[in-house]
């Protein structure tokens, strides 16, 4: 069944990253955009959070018998199909699969302004994902999943 240690570890990575990113989000854009350390930390923590999100999502998909996702975007689609995350939220967070790829493969094109925009407006999506995962696991444990 589910690997509880993996799930707990990935949830902790996401939550710790979000806490750190919220501190950076409190900086004014002008200061953030000129602080290389802040940019590096934001990029690293966001990438780690997204990697943990997709690792966790893939684990839930596979262990729930929903198939094997072909890519990061299909992880989100299969989570939606399995009712692990709601349809509306799946649409909302699907773009983060592309952003994860941008951080990893097009890192040289990531701008401080776009990174700042994400830490300003999208961190709640990461926390909401965690809540949906916990809710799903509780439903499974109670036999309602």
The arithmetic mean of pLDDT across residues 84-90, rounded, is: 96
pLDDT of 18 strictly over 90:
yes
Q: Among 39-48, 67-76, 95-104, where is mean pLDDT lowest?
A: 95-104
Of the pLDDT bands very low, low, confident and very high (cuts 50, 70, 90), residue 145 is low
Q: What is this structure's pTM?
A: 0.93
Residue 66, Cα to own-chain centre: how many angstroms? Answer: 20
What's the whole-number mean pLDDT along residues 14-31?
97
| 122 vs 127: CA distance, rounded Å | 9
Question: What H or E segment, with its residue span, contains residue 7?
Answer: helix 4-25
> Does pLDDT of 95 surpass 90?
no
Instruction: Band the pLDDT of 79: cuts 50, 70, 90.
Output: very high
Give the C-alpha distances (Å, rounded to integers) separating 54 from 21, 94, 108, 141.
18, 11, 22, 22
115/131 Cα distance (integer angstroms) = 24
Q: What is the model's pLDDT at position 35?
A: 98
The whole-number average pLDDT for the span 52-56 is: 96
Q: What's the chain's average pLDDT?
A: 94
98: confidence class by pLDDT, cuts 50, 70, 90: confident
The CATH code that applies to domain 4-142 is 1.20.120.580
Q: How confident is the model at residue 99 (pLDDT cuts 50, 70, 90)?
A: confident
pLDDT higher than threshold 80 for residue 120: yes
CB 49 within 8 A of CB 43: no
Q: Where are the domains of the chain?
A: 4-142
User: In this model, does residue 31 exceed pLDDT 70?
Assistant: yes
User: Cβ distance 37 to 131 under 8 Å?
Assistant: no
């Amino acid at each position: 069944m589910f690997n509880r240690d993996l799930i707990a570890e990935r949830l902790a990575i996401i939550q710790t990253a979000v806490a750190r990113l919220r501190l950076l989000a409190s900086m004014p854009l002008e200061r953030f955009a000129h602080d290389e350390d802040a940019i590096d930390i934001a990029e690293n923590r966001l990438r780690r959070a997204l990697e943990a999100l997709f690792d966790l999502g893939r684990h839930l998909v596979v262990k729930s018998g929903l198939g094997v996702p072909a890519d990061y975007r299909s992880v989100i689609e299969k989570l939606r199909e399995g009712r692990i995350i709601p349809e509306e939220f799946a649409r909302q967070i699907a773009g983060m699969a592309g952003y994860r790829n941008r951080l990893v493969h097009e890192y040289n094109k990531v701008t401080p302004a776009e990174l700042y925009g994400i830490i300003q407006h999208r961190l709640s999506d990461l926390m909401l994902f965690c809540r949906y995962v916990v809710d799903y696991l509780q439903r499974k444990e109670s036999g309602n999943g």
